């Protein structure tokens, strides 16, 4: 199935379960409810804002679908923000920031554009509602005709609702105008068979000229961005305008947009999560089973595969549930059918990666597959990253690895496209992007940090892309010259630290980049310096330690050609990094005899 048809099918299942708004409606954040009498008087104002931490959060209600607007004036039907509905906004300073009074309360005012927005709101509703015989809608028109923006303060409406979205009720709270039969007949379009064939459903229907806005994609406009759009003549042909160029029916466009927005709204942690972020890519996923309970179970498994929760933050019941989930994942990864029937290996799972691209969204990847296949591929990914000493207490998330490629560990510095390419490799079991290895090596050369996560990435890329049996822990017999050179560099650094304790900077800070790229030029100098340090160690009370260093260097040199390589390829530099990490952080058994400088294993 295509992306749009799969999302449209998801909407139909959500609508049947009551989890999605009806056609013509959308879920919006509403901050206040105004109750009108039969003659259009304002009876009451109820704030729908509730505290969430330090913020006041509006309630989510199903209202007539939001109008798509950018800089122009376009009112919504029977609801909108206070600037449109009441012609009033919060007083702002020159930087467009709210300017509270001495008591910290927002102050109502009417700007020039606000007056135009309210006038457009009134005109549109007269255009659509004049002649109606519904008492609630007649009361609404009477309210609009009698309202003045100064009434906001005169009627002592709460200032916290300024610039919030507002809905209306008739005579009592909860009897929303937009749910009245007369209003619904104006909101839901009537069936019309005239039009081209819809590319999603294959049915004949009028096409959507403008497709819905998608909200919640990291980096995209907060007001939403289009997944499908034709906003310039260069994208149009044969005289068709906008959506006529690739006809998708109004219902299909509404269906896929509603489903996608619902998925994006379910981010975060825990049950019900259906979205996560990897680099610059916002990833949504959903399962397709016979029941919603089975859907949620499969989605929990998938979410856990990519971003497992921290056991230290769980209660006892949560730990028990998560343990059962882990058993199911292990069975799926090994090709077995779990004991719990909700976790069927054949369950269809759809994964869609989206990234911002100006006013539109770009599709980073579209990966339909089965839960069993994805579980096996993710387990292989975890096996690829296995390294000793382990740099993490639990399997790493894909998004966490990407931070190792970014300057200052900031998400905005992650190389573009890398998140999508890595996700595709993990889910399909294909080779990792070479850019991943290049970015990690580049960061090591720039900041000199060689931690377990970076070493594990180097190991994983080399092992999978080159189909090489790469050691998980220190392998003294490994014949690879770059691997041995990395080990040797770690020993030389330890010699320097033992001979000159308290150094602020070691040879790693000055020479690692050069040693890992052009070893023939650097190692003779480092070895000569280390010989001098060893001589001093033998004359001190660390003679046993100097003896151990001699043996370790001899073992490493015995497997190296006297003519060291003049340069190392990118993959060889990855082997160098892994060898350094294995040697530097290898934990010697307690009964191994002589002391030697082993740093403690790190965790990330």
pLDDT of residue 292: 80
Q: Smallest Cα–Cα separation from 170: which of 318, 52, 42, 7?
A: 42
Average pLDDT over residues 432-446: 96
Average pLDDT over residues 575-581: 97
Average pLDDT over residues 423-433: 95
Average pLDDT over residues 467-475: 95
Top-confidence residue, 43 or 302: 43
| β strands within 251-337, DSSP E | 275-278, 281-288
Beta bridge partners of 354: 282, 363
**CA atoms lying within 13 Å on the CB side of residue 494:** 24
pLDDT of residue 340: 82
Top-confidence residue, 491 or 52: 491
pLDDT of residue 1: 63
pLDDT of residue 412: 85
pLDDT above 60 (res 12) = yes
CA 492 from chain center: how many Å? Answer: 42
- pLDDT digit string, tens, across residues 315-367: 788 778 778 888 888 888 888 888 888 888 999 999 999 998 877 899 999 99
Q: Going by C-beta distance under 8 Å and a sequence separation of 6 or more, which residues neighbour residue 393? A: 603
pLDDT above 70 (res 392) = yes
pLDDT above 70 (res 384) = yes
- pLDDT digit string, tens, across residues 89-127: 999 988 889 899 888 899 999 988 999 999 999 999 999
pLDDT of residue 588: 59
pLDDT of residue 603: 36
pLDDT, averaged across the chain: 89
- pLDDT digit string, tens, across residues 125-167: 999 999 999 999 999 999 999 999 999 999 999 999 999 999 9
pLDDT above 60 (res 76) = yes
Q: DSSP state, 178?
A: G
Q: Smallest Cα–Cα separation from 241: which of 227, 226, 229, 256?
A: 229
Q: Which segment, 82-86, 275-279, 415-419, is predicted with the most confidence on average? A: 82-86
Q: How confident is the model at residue 21 (pLDDT cuts 50, 70, 90)?
A: confident
**Cα–Cα distance between 196 and 219 in angstroms, integer?**
35
Cβ neighbours around 55 below 10 Å, total: 8
Determine the straight-line distance between the first and last CA of the chain, rounded to whole angstroms.
Answer: 40
pLDDT above 60 (res 589) = no
Q: How confident is the model at residue 307 (pLDDT cuts 50, 70, 90)?
A: confident
Domain boundaries, the chain: 1-18+191-259, 24-187, 266-430, 481-585
The pTM (predicted TM-score) of the whole model is 0.79
> Which secondary-structure segment (H or E) carries 533?
helix 519-538
Top-confidence residue, 23 or 475: 475
pLDDT of residue 594: 42
Q: How confident is the model at residue 598 (pLDDT cuts 50, 70, 90)?
A: very low
Top-confidence residue, 341 or 59: 59
pLDDT above 90 (res 574) = yes
Q: Are strands 360-370 and 348-357 parallel, antiparallel or unpaired?
A: antiparallel
Region for residue 413 given its phi and psi (left: phi exceeds 0; alpha: psi -120 to 50; beta: otherwise): alpha
- pLDDT digit string, tens, across residues 479-524: 999 999 999 999 999 999 999 998 889 999 999 999 999 999 999 9
**Cα–Cα distance between 329 and 371 in angstroms, integer?**
9
Cis peptide before 389 (omega within 30 of 0): yes
Q: Smallest Cα–Cα separation from 441: which of 518, 387, 524, 512?
A: 512
pLDDT above 60 (res 600) = no
Average pLDDT over residues 423-445: 95
pLDDT of residue 280: 83
pLDDT of residue 597: 46
Q: DSSP state, 249?
A: B
Q: Smallest Cα–Cα separation from 220: which of 278, 282, 262, 275?
A: 282
Say if residues 274 and 357 touch (Cβ distance below 8 Å): no
């Amino acid at each position: 199935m295509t992306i749009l048809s799969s999302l449209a099918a998801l909407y139909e299942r959500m609508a049947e379960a009551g989890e999605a708004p009806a056609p013509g409606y959308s879920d919006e954040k509403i901050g206040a409810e105004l109750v009108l009498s039969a003659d259009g008087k304002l009876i009451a104002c109820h704030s729908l804002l509730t505290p969430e931490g330090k913020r006041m959060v509006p309630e989510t209600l199903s209202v007539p679908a939001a109008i798509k607007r950018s800089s122009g004036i376009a009112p919504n039907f029977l609801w909108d923000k206070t600037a449109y509905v009441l012609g009033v906004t919060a007083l702002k300073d020159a930087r467009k920031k709210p300017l509270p009074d001495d008591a910290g309360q927002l102050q109502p005012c009417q700007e020039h554009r606000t007056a135009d927005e309210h006038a457009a709101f009134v005109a549109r509703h007269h255009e659509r509602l004049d002649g109606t015989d519904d008492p609630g809608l007649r009361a609404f028109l009477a309210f609009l005709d009698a309202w003045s923006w100064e009434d906001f303060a005169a009627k002592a409406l709460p200032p916290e609702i300024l610039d919030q979205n507002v809905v209306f009720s008739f005579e009592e709270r909860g009897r929303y105008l937009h749910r009245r039969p007369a209003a619904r007949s104006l909101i839901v379009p009537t069936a019309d068979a005239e039009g081209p064939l819809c590319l999603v459903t294959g049915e004949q229907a009028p096409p959507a000229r403008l497709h819905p806005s998608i909200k919640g994609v990291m980096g995209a406009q907060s007001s939403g961005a289009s997944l499908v759009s034709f906003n310039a003549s260069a994208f149009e042909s044969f005289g068709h305008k906008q959506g006529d160029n690739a006809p998708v029916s109004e219902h299909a466009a509404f269906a896929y947009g509603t489903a996608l927005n619902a998925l994006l709204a379910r981010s975060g942690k825990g049950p019900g999560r259906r979205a996560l972020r990897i680099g610059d890519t916002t990833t949504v996923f959903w399962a397709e089973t016979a029941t919603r309970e089975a859907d949620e179970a499969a989605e929990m498994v998938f979410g856990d595969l990519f971003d497992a929760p921290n056991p230290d933050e769980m209660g006892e019941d949560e730990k028990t549930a998560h343990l059962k989930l882990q058993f199911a994942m292990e069975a799926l990864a090994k090709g077995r059918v779990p004991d719990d029937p909700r976790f069927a290996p054949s369950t269809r799972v759809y994964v869609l990666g989206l990234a911002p691209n100006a006013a539109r969204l770009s599709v980073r990847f579209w990966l339909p597959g089965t839960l069993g296949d994805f579980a096996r591929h993710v387990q292989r990914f975890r096996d690829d990253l296995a390294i000793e000493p382990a740099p993490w207490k639990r399997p790493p998330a894909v998004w966490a690895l990407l931070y190792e490629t970014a300057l200052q560990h900031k998400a905005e510095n992650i190389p573009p496209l890398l998140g999508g390419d890595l996700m595709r490799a993990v889910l399909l079991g294909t080779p990792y992007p070479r850019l991943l290895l290049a970015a990690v090596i580049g960061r090591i050369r720039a900041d000199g940090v060689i931690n377990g996560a970076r070493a594990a990435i180097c190991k994983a890329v080399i092992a999978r892309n080159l189909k090489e049996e790469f050691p998980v822990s220190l392998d003294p017999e490994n014949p690879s010259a770059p691997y041995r050179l990395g080990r040797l560099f770690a020993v030389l650094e330890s010699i320097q630290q033992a001979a000159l304790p308290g150094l602020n900077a070691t040879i790693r800070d000055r020479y690692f980049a050069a040693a890992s790229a052009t070893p023939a030029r650097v190692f003779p100098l480092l070895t000569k310096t280390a010989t001098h340090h060893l001589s001093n160690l033998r004359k001190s009370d660390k003679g046993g330690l100097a003896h151990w260093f001699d043996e370790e260097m001899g073992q490493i040199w015995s497997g190296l050609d006297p003519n060291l390589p003049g340069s190392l390829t990118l993959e060889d530099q990855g082997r160098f990094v892994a060898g350094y990490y294995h040697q530097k952080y290898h934990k010697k058994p307690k009964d191994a005899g002589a002391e030697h400088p082993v740093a403690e294993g790190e965790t990330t």
